Structure 1
Amino acid sequence: MSLSAAGRAEAGRPTSRAGARRVATLAFAAQGVSVAAVYTTVPAVTEHLKLAPLLTTALMVTVALMAGGGSFLGLAAVRRAGPVATMRGALLTAAAALTLIGWAPGKAAVGCAYILFGIAVGALDVGSNTRAAAIERAYGRSVFGSFYTAWSVGGVVAALLTAGAARLEWPVADGLNLQAGVLLVLALCIRTHALPASSEEPSDTPAEPPLGRRVWIRLLPFGLVLLVVYVVDSTVSAWSAVYLRQTLSASLTVAPMAYAAYQAGTVVGRAATDRLVQRIGAVAVVRIAALLVAGALAGMAAAPSWPFAVLAAGAVGLGASVLAPLCLASAARLRPAASEAILARLNLFNYAGVVTGGAVSGLLGSTGDFRLAYAAPAALAVLLLACARHFTRPPGPAPTGSPHAATSAVPPKG
Structure 2
Amino acid sequence: MPLSLQAAAPARARRRDSLAGARQVTATAFAAQGAAVAAVFTTVPGIQQHLGLSSLVTTVLMVTVALAAGAGSFAGLAAIRRVGAVAAMRCAAVATAAALLLIGWAPGQASVTVAYLLFGMALGGIDVSVNTRAAAVERAYGRSIFSSFYALWSVGGVASALLTAGMARLGRPPEQILTAQAALVLALALTIRSHPIADTAASGTPSETAAVPLGRRMWAKLVPFGLVLLVAYVIDSTVSAWSTVYLHQVLAASLPTAPLAYAAYQAGTITGRACADHLIRRTGPAAVIRAAALVAATALAALAGAPGWPYAIAAAGFVGLGVSAFTPLCLATAGRLQPDAAEAILARLNLFNYLGVISGAAASGLIGSSGHFRLAFAIPAVLALLPLVTARSFAHDARLRPGVHHT
With the shorter chain as reference, the TM-score category is over 0.9
1-side partners of 2:207 and 2:104: how far apart?
A: 47
2:385 is aligned, of 382, 386, 404, to 382
Corresponding letter in the other structure for 2:392: R
User: Which residue number in structure 2 is paired with residue 232 of structure 1?
Assistant: 235
Contact 2:210 2:344 in 1 (8 A): no
User: Which residue number in structure 2 is paired with residue 284 of structure 1?
Assistant: 287
Write out aligned runs for 1:284-303 (5 A): 284-303=287-306
Deviation at 1:216, TM superposition (A): 1.5
Corresponding letter in the other structure for 1:167: R
Corresponding letter in the other structure for 1:123: G
Does structure 1 residue 212 correspond to structure 2 residue 215? yes
Does structure 1 residue 33 correspond to structure 2 residue 35? yes
Deviation at 1:206, TM superposition (A): 4.1
User: Which residue number in structure 1 is paired with residue 116 of structure 2?
Assistant: 114
Write out aligned runs for 1:228-377 (5 A): 228-377=231-380
Corresponding letter in the other structure for 2:376: A
Matched residue of 1:77: which SS?
A: helix
2-side partners of 1:221 and 1:307: how far apart?
A: 36
Structure 1 residue ranges without an equivalent (≥5): 1-13, 400-414
- Would the alpha carbon gap of residues 25 and 173 (structure 1) be closer, same or farther in structure 2, given more than 3 Å must change? same
1-side partners of 2:164 and 2:200: how far apart?
A: 43
Does structure 1 residue 156 correspond to structure 2 residue 167? no
Deviation at 1:383, TM superposition (A): 1.2
Identity of aligned residues (%): 61
Corresponding letter in the other structure for 1:140: G
2-side partners of 1:300 and 1:203: how far apart?
A: 45
Matched residue of 1:27: which SS?
A: helix
Greater mean alpha carbon deviation, residues 384-393 or residues 320-329: 384-393
Structure 2 residue ranges without an equivalent (≥5): 1-13
- Would the alpha carbon gap of residues 381 and 398 (structure 1) be closer, same or farther in structure 2, given more than 3 Å must change? closer
- Would the alpha carbon gap of residues 26 and 203 (structure 1) be closer, same or farther in structure 2, given more than 3 Å must change? closer
Matched residue of 2:252: which SS?
A: coil
Contact 2:30 2:152 in 1 (8 A): yes
- Would the alpha carbon gap of residues 146 and 204 (structure 1) be closer, same or farther in structure 2, given more than 3 Å must change? closer
2-side partners of 1:166 and 1:355: how far apart?
A: 28
2-side partners of 1:198 and 1:237: how far apart?
A: 35
Deviation at 1:199, TM superposition (A): 6.7
User: Which residue number in structure 2 is paired with residue 142 of structure 1?
Assistant: 144
Write out aligned runs for 1:87-102 (5 A): 87-102=89-104
Matched residue of 1:209: which SS?
A: coil
Deviation at 1:71, TM superposition (A): 0.2
Greater mean alpha carbon deviation, residues 209-218 or residues 122-131: 209-218
Contact 2:81 2:207 in 1 (8 A): no
Contact 2:137 2:199 in 1 (8 A): no
User: Which residue number in structure 2 is paired with residue 407 of structure 1?
Assistant: none
1-side partners of 2:238 and 2:202: how far apart?
A: 36
1-side partners of 2:158 and 2:97: how far apart?
A: 18
Corresponding letter in the other structure for 1:394: R
1-side partners of 2:330 and 2:186: how far apart?
A: 29
1-side partners of 2:19 and 2:390: how far apart?
A: 32
Contact 2:242 2:365 in 1 (8 A): yes
Q: TM-score, normalised by structure 1?
A: 0.91
Deviation at 1:260, TM superposition (A): 0.3
1:53 is aligned, of 50, 55, 69, to 55
Deviation at 1:311, TM superposition (A): 0.5
Contact 1:205 1:337 in 2 (8 A): no
Matched residue of 1:213: which SS?
A: coil
1-side partners of 2:198 and 2:386: how far apart?
A: 39
2-side partners of 1:247 and 1:353: how far apart?
A: 24
- Render the CA deviation track for 1:65-99: whole Å, top value 9, x for unaligned: 10000000000000000000011000110000000
Deviation at 1:188, TM superposition (A): 1.1
- Would the alpha carbon gap of residues 43 and 200 (structure 1) be closer, same or farther in structure 2, given more than 3 Å must change? closer
Deviation at 1:234, TM superposition (A): 0.5
User: Which residue number in structure 2 is paired with residue 44 of structure 1?
Assistant: 46
Deviation at 1:394, TM superposition (A): 2.8
User: Which residue number in structure 2 is paired with residue 127 of structure 1?
Assistant: 129
Deviation at 1:17, TM superposition (A): 0.7
User: Which residue number in structure 2 is paired with residue 394 of structure 1?
Assistant: 399
